[in-house]
Amino acid sequence: MCRIQNNKTTLVYACAGCADVGGIADQIGRKLRRDGFASPNASCLAGIGAGIQSFIDVAQAADRVITIDGCEVECAKKTLENIGIQPQPVILTKMGLEKGNSSPTPELVKNLCQSIVNEFK
């Protein structure tokens, strides 16, 4: 389980691009919220990109914002930077995944979640 106990509001925004690593990033983000590492009340990355103020307000009010991008293009990170947030980035291809050659297995998602939790403790 990817749980961490603290009083900070942590939001995780994950890439959900078409590539396999984007899908894995999305699964990791969902697991981190489901397991209690991040707030389950995350706002919507697409809503932020669309300029919807209520989503932007939630992101800007967080104590800590983490982005999980599948590759070095860093779409999630750049979306948040566009609204003045400097997130703490995770890039899955820098963690050993290969774009176009990474199978989204439950074991892979679990292991990457644990690595991320350990990095941000």
**pLDDT per position as a tens digit, 6-39:** 567 999 999 988 899 999 999 999 999 999 999 9
Bridge partner list, 67? 13, 89
What mean pLDDT comes out for the span 93-109? 92
Q: Is the pLDDT of residue 94 over 70?
A: yes
What mean pLDDT comes out for the span 81-88? 97
Cα gap 119→60, rounded to integer Å? 22
pTM of the model: 0.90
10 vs 2 pLDDT, higher one: 10
Cα gap 54→114, rounded to integer Å? 31
The whole-number pLDDT of residue 76 equals 97
Bridge partner list, 88? 66
Residue that is written with structure tokens 């982005």 in the block: 67
